[in-house]
Amino acid sequence: MGDIVAKPETSPAAARVSLTVDLPHGGRIGPEDVDLIETIARERSIVGAGRALGQSYRKTWLMVDALNRMFESRVIDTFPGRRQAGATVTDFGRRLVALYRSAERRANATTARALDEIVASLDWRFEAAVTPADAVTPTARDAAAADRPD
């Protein structure tokens, strides 16, 4: 019970804020959405972006569709067809990414001291369960439930 566990010998990665924006109309944009937009900009293809992100075409397409319906302006333009198939990020989509990344940087800068204090309080014996890519990372509630005797 009183075991003292040393912090890792190497410096752990700093904690950072993961920003999810809950929009007033019920939509939501988060890291997965912005990563998708950035990947489509590089790959110029929904199929290619899905592959690069390790997700199915269906999931990728549904995310693109949701992003395009969420805003008055399109985020991604698609060009279906065998020879000219592809996708491009619109000017609005590029602006959306820039605004999101700016808010993310500011959130991390603003919370740095609080996050440092949280990191200083970590129990280094905690091991996150290995889960499938689509599973949720364990929360404090999950860890507490696992520690309770049956």
DSSP state of 6: P
What is the DSSP code (8-state) at residue 29?
Answer: E
Domain enclosing residue 32, as ranges = 21-147
Look at 126 and 81; give whichever has higher pLDDT: 126
What CA–CA distance (Å, rounded) separates 107 from 117? Answer: 16
Q: For the domain that residue 34 is a member of, what is the CATH number?
A: 1.10.10.10
For residue 12, being part of any structural domain is answered with: no
Please check whether residue 16 lies inside any domain of the structure: no
- Residue 23, pLDDT score: 97
pTM for the structure as a whole: 0.74
Do residues 103 and 21 lie in contact, with contact meaning Cβ atoms separated by under 8 Å?
yes
131 belongs to a structural domain: yes
Residue 5 lies in a domain: no
Count of domains in the chain? 1
DSSP symbols for 103-143: HHHHHHHHHHHHHHHHHHT--TT--PPP--TTSPPPPHHHH
53 is written with which tokens?
């992100």
